[in-house]
Amino acid sequence: MAKNTQGNTLKVTLVRSIINTEASHRATVRGLGLRRLNHTVTLQDTPAVRGMINKVSYLLKCEG
């Protein structure tokens, strides 16, 4: 039986610049796969990804 992954994803968009942010926050944004302003990626909804999103939530827009 195939697992439905449609409901287990998050769309994350970088809406603020990473200039003048902490190095660990820049690394977290890159770890999420975001490369430039207004870039959107679809990620699996896991505790690790949620933690990364919470760390840099002031830079992101997240849709369930």
- More confidently predicted of 39 and 64: 39
Token pair recorded at residue 19: 């200039």
Mean pLDDT for 12-22 is: 97
Number of structural domains the chain divides into: 1
- Kindly state whether residue 54 falls inside one of the protein's structural domains: yes
Mean pLDDT for 40-56 is: 97
Domain span including residue 18: 8-63
- Kindly state whether residue 2 falls inside one of the protein's structural domains: no
Q: Which CATH number do you get for residue 19? A: 3.30.1390.20
CA 47 to chain centre: 12
Tokens 């287990």 sit on residue: 8
- Kindly state whether residue 42 falls inside one of the protein's structural domains: yes
CB 14 within 8 A of CB 34: yes
Token pair recorded at residue 32: 């999420």
- Kindly state whether residue 13 falls inside one of the protein's structural domains: yes
Q: Are strands 60-63 and 9-14 parallel, antiparallel or unpaired?
A: antiparallel
